Structure 1
Amino acid sequence: MPAFAIGDEDFLLDGAPVQVVSGALHYFRIHPDQWADRLRTARLMGLNTVETYVAWNAHSPRRGVMDLTGRADLGRFLDLAAAEGLHAIVRPGPFICAEWDGGGLPAWLLAAEGVGVRRSEPTYLAAVEDFLAGVLPVVAERQVTRGGPVLMVQVENEYGAYGDDAGYLRELVAMTRAQGIEVPLFTCDQADDAMLARGGLPELHRTATFGSRSTERLAVLRRHQPTGPLMCAEFWAGWFDAWGGHHHLPDVDRAAGDLDELLAAGASVNIYMAHGGTNFGFTNGANDKGVYAPTVTSYDYGAPIAEDGSPTPLFHAFREVVSRYAPVPADLPPERRPAPALDVALDRRLDATSATSVLGPWKEWDHLPTTDEAEQWTGLVAYRTDVTADDGVLVLDEVRDHVVARLDGRPIGVLDRSRGDRVLPLPAADGVLELLVEDQGRVNYGPRIGEPKGLLGPARTTAREVTSWRTAPLLLDDVTALAEEVREQPDQDPAAPVAGPAFCAGTFASEPGADHFLALTGWGKGLVWVNGWCLGRYWSAGPTRTLYVPGPLVREGANDLLVLELHGAAQARAGFVAAPDLGHTED
């Protein structure tokens, strides 16, 4: 069988030098029926390898679950890569960052009392061992040593930016080898002397991450990897977007020049991202460097292969650069064609916390709980308490992350973590205060990884501490029954404004199998489902103005469109438009 090795100067495949020209595609960010298309497009750009993280919480959303099916079918993704003639690099973490919810670390694990985060702590290590035992056999049987596509496997991820526990890294190495991984292992860290020193081990091959000044950054790497091939494990071709910010687009000429400089030096590369995909559902992460900044639904990333799989100007520029160092296929992928454009009336409505099909059981508390205490690891949780006319104002210690407040069903305010909100004025009335709390994505980078979500107390009014609370989660993994419950509601005029939080539903007929782009102009903030698949979050804060609807979701005949509007909408109408609108840029 072919063998892949790290030589004194080059990577070696069957003993012959090989320059790895790889690109990142995350299977968990792509509809499974589109994996083959995205892999083919990557090959047509000239790549000989694809790389993917493995998101632990995508496979284990709850304790004791290990899912390797559907959109979590890592084995199928790797088999499709092999069928396309591509090698593969797998990066199972356990921490991946990736602007993904919690950096891939499961919230149920980090809620355990005393658990460590990315260090040698028994509870954490035992859970990591279980995770690797679940996913790595899938990788092991697809190694190049066994006739498969997998060339290398990464240990941890940019660990030097977080810690310096070499014993922890060696534990991960032992766990990885114990699952039959024979191919070379490697680490990656930012092209920084301190991070490269902390994040690697002498016995593992070091790689670096950067997006510019290739010669300078490779020289930094060479100081820490004195022999063997140089590799940029993440060549940042673009960047991600945060709600309330601008859309990032790369400087095509500069990015192509930096890639050319890198390949001319003989280094190998993994383009991050070759194709970004989408943060479907509640899967986006967040950064917090003093201000909480959740990542938007689109993970287009300004990548050479756009969110919908179409080639961008960067695709053609990178392809031309790669062609200087290796043969590229003669074929080109098709350019984007206009998507179907149509309007949809959502003529059914249902108050969000009156939706009995998805509202979980109410639980009583004698203190203000976090959503982690309530074992709701993502999404939305309703909090209720009784207030009086004398309370005046509710003060919380912290809001994580977004709160829509109502008193006896009447909207009274919104609190948002990004603004530092934590004080809610109350009407001078007795009643039931309801706070619908949205987890907008767990921090995926830095010291705030693993923090709990929900409302942090104590909660006080002008008159007292509020200790009596009730909570109920919105259970939105399967919205089949919810869609039916909303459809059973009386007709509403879609031209009438929508008061949130409310579910709105309608149907549409369009071209089956075609990609669509959904625009929610005039809507505030919420989530969208098409035929039961959660497209992700929308927000008038921008920059993103459309949501990507993968073609496999659109069927013949009637299609269901379900919207959860948290704030309010000018009217209950949505529109599908001809092309994506990812928002304003800095230019």
Structure 2
Amino acid sequence: MKRLLTLLCTLVLAAGPGSAKAPKAAPFAIQGERFLVDGKPFIVRSGEMHYPRVPRAFWRDRMKKMRAMGLNTLCTYVFWNLHEPEPGRFDFSGDLDLAAYLRTAQEEGLKVILRPGPYICTEWEFGGLPGWLVKEADMKVRTADPRFLAAAAKYLKRVGQEVDALQADRGGPIVMVQVENEYGSFGKDMAYKQAIRQAMVDAGFRAQFYTSDGPGQDMLAGGTFPDLLPTVNFGAGPECAEAFAELDKFRKGIPKMCGEYWAGWFDHYGKAHHTTDPKEGAEGVTWMLQRGISFNLYMFHGGTNFGFMNGANWTGRYAPDTTSYDYDVMLDEAGRPTPKFFAYREAIQPFLAKGEKLPELPAPQPLIEIPAIRFTESAALSQLLKAPVHAEAPLAMEALGQSYGYVLYRHAVSETSREVLEVKDVRDYAVVLQGARRIGSLDRRLRQSCLDVDVKAGETLDILVENTGRINFDKAMLEERKGILGAVTLGGKALKGWDCYSLPLSDLSGLRFQAGEVTAPAFHRATFDLTNVGDTFLDLRGWGKGQVFVNGRNLGRHWNLGPMDTLYCPATYLQAGRNEVIVLELEPASQREIRGLKNPVLSQGLGR
């Protein structure tokens, strides 16, 4: 018996303290003022990059460049308006394959911070909210309106299904998930915030929740939760100390993190292209890393607001953002490293973990020049008109079941008159015609609403209205609708009886081009041949205003206001052999050529 007891004691001692298996460290956790990954301290060095702004073929290249600069985490929004273009119809395919994007990040050694919204701002059309949400005139987005909350919950549930297996607790890369987005700059409705948070829980999000707001005490109070990690957003450079002092006043004993470190800035049509100092921005990164502070660079790579997806700002005046989202950051619109890349890389390198080594940059991707392409065929915009909706007064775009593009409003003139035509509340740019005769244009940016006209009985009065981007920030979002929102009067008398034609420009197959010139607004077509494909920038100098389509892909808007005088055309939109380019031109511009350049032209704008 004595020998048996001795043997049992020996076995227990060999098994160590508690023969039960020691608990495994969480893949990502907060301990006091530190982040932990697998139980070890972790500083988040994140960069923002958005999958709809970068063609899928380039995702991995850009992520490799993130790692080469010293980043360990990728941050991205999720884009509701793209994933649910119509109520209940979801799309996570191709360039919208969110799960594939996140898996690629993990394969490249990156953690992921996910920002599913439902509101995302990001200089994107309506802050990522679908236009169909506001078909009902009294819908209030980003509020506790039960219709908005129900739609948002369905969307979040669908996103949750896409990314469930990619959360850290299941071996995936997602370590943090943001609740709403900078809500402290919009409102203080705790019921709304709690409803969105609960919808995210119900959708199966389990990674570390956090919020992101400006550093002001009011913004932090409005946007945060008592039990969730708050982060602060601010401009690159000397704002660091002040921002974190404000965060420290608001809440102590937490890991400090800059949710958005604005490494550059976005552009508006008609204004100068923004640039910021690489050295100053890099010094801010050094300041944070010296203190063990985590950060997310907004942006690392901006990319492009392809198609109709640019947003707009409101500061008492409407200001649409450009198609280019170059943002003056570490990679340019074509993914090439800029001076900021090397300045920030140098700032990060001294703070790498022991044994950590930065990978080499991948080989540069080809850029090409395309000789002048001459346009010799045209087609009238009217070829795309289908059955209209008739109404006594013009109907908003959303009331027509349309989110993007143009609406043509047509009125049969019954009396010849020379009066003032007033179009109340144009959203956002209108071309006014009688028959083929152009009368003038109205621009919401300039608060224009009136034109002197000379109209003749028996002819139609056409008002072609373009949605140049829904406001993506500020409470002005609550009233944002497109088209003509008020009455149209002639000499003070309301014009009644309108045919409203939807022109989303999602399908141009109905166009029949012919040789020669067609009066604007019209489409112009050309073809060109390529032996080798590569990225290029289409030079639109000399053109007026409209859209550009290459091989059926909507590149975005051209507008002669600057600062963006070129449109980025990725190699993936081109093909060896014959290519087609179609330009919608709203203005009577004389230019009928386009060429491809290796570098963008970002001017100082015209200041209009």
Q: Following the alignment from structure 1 to structure 2, what is the Cα–Cα distance between the partners of residues 338 and 205?
A: 43
What is aligned with 2:4?
Answer: none
**Deviation digits for residues 449-470 of structure 1, max 9, x if unmatched?**
1411111222211162112111
**Deviation digits for residues 56-90 of structure 1, max 9, x if unmatched?**
10111222221111122111110111111111000
1:259 aligns with 2:285: yes
1:510 is matched with which residue: 506, 530, 537?
530
Q: How does 1:118-133 map to 2 (within 5 A)?
A: 118-133=142-157
Residue 238 of structure 1 aligns with an amino acid whose one-letter code is G
1:100 aligns with 2:127: no
Q: Relative to structure 1, is the Cα distance of residues 581 and 15 closer, same or farther in structure 2, using a 3 angstrom cutoff?
A: same
Residue 251 of structure 1 aligns with an amino acid whose one-letter code is D
For structure 1, which segment, 319-328 or 98-107, has the greater mean C-alpha deviation from structure 2 after superposition? 319-328
What is aligned with 1:416?
Answer: 443
2:582 is matched with which residue: 558, 562, 571?
562
Q: Following the alignment from structure 1 to structure 2, what is the Cα–Cα distance between the partners of residues 336 and 257?
A: 30
Q: Relative to structure 1, is the Cα distance of residues 144 and 463 closer, same or farther in structure 2, using a 3 angstrom cutoff?
A: closer
Q: Following the alignment from structure 1 to structure 2, what is the Cα–Cα distance between the partners of residues 338 and 127?
A: 42
Q: How does 1:139-218 map to 2 (within 5 A)?
A: 139-211=163-235, 212=237, 213-218=239-244
Kept in 2, the 8 Å contact 1:160–1:196? The answer is yes
Residue 42 of structure 2 aligns with an amino acid whose one-letter code is V
2:92 is matched with which residue: 68, 71, 74?
68
**Deviation digits for residues 285-317 of structure 1, max 9, x if unmatched?**
000111110000100100101110000000000
Q: Following the alignment from structure 1 to structure 2, what is the Cα–Cα distance between the partners of residues 203 and 578?
A: 50
What is aligned with 1:578?
Answer: 598
- CA offset at residue 568 of structure 1? 2.2
Q: Following the alignment from structure 2 to structure 1, what is the Cα–Cα distance between the partners of residues 124 and 532?
A: 30
**Deviation digits for residues 321-370 of structure 1, max 9, x if unmatched?**
110111442412445765223111111101112x24xx332111112221
**Deviation digits for residues 122-147 of structure 1, max 9, x if unmatched?**
11111111000111222221011111
Kept in 1, the 8 Å contact 2:270–2:605? The answer is no
Kept in 1, the 8 Å contact 2:136–2:399? The answer is no
Q: Following the alignment from structure 2 to structure 1, what is the Cα–Cα distance between the partners of residues 45 and 69?
A: 10
Which has more radius of gyration? 2
Q: Relative to structure 1, is the Cα distance of residues 511 and 83 closer, same or farther in structure 2, using a 3 angstrom cutoff?
A: farther
- Cα RMSD (Å) of the superposition? 1.7
1:464 aligns with 2:493: yes
- CA offset at residue 110 of structure 1? 2.4
For structure 1, which segment, 136-145 or 8-17, has the greater mean C-alpha deviation from structure 2 after superposition? 136-145
Residue 501 of structure 1 aligns with an amino acid whose one-letter code is P
Residue 494 of structure 2 aligns with an amino acid whose one-letter code is E
* Partner SS for 2:279: helix
Q: Relative to structure 1, is the Cα distance of residues 428 and 170 closer, same or farther in structure 2, using a 3 angstrom cutoff?
A: closer
Q: How does 1:13-412 map to 2 (within 5 A)?
A: 13-211=37-235, 212=237, 213-326=239-352, 327-334=356-363, 339-353=368-382, 355-356=383-384, 359-387=385-413, 388-390=415-417, 392-412=419-439
* Partner SS for 2:400: coil
Kept in 2, the 8 Å contact 1:237–1:255? The answer is yes
What percent of counterpart residues are identical? 39
* Partner SS for 2:264: coil
Q: Which runs of 4+ in 1 moved over 3 A?
A: 333-338
- CA offset at residue 513 of structure 1? 3.5
Aligned residues: 574
Kept in 2, the 8 Å contact 1:512–1:551? The answer is no
* Partner SS for 2:515: coil
1:444 is matched with which residue: 472, 482, 486?
472
- CA offset at residue 182 of structure 1? 1.6
* Partner SS for 1:287: strand
For structure 1, which segment, 343-352 or 434-443, has the greater mean C-alpha deviation from structure 2 after superposition? 343-352
Q: Relative to structure 1, is the Cα distance of residues 335 and 72 closer, same or farther in structure 2, using a 3 angstrom cutoff?
A: closer
For structure 1, which segment, 249-258 or 536-545, has the greater mean C-alpha deviation from structure 2 after superposition? 249-258
Q: Following the alignment from structure 2 to structure 1, what is the Cα–Cα distance between the partners of residues 138 and 600?
A: 45
- CA offset at residue 238 of structure 1? 0.2
Residue 351 of structure 1 aligns with an amino acid whose one-letter code is A
Gaps of 5+ in 1: none
Residue 270 of structure 2 aligns with an amino acid whose one-letter code is G
- CA offset at residue 224 of structure 1? 2.2
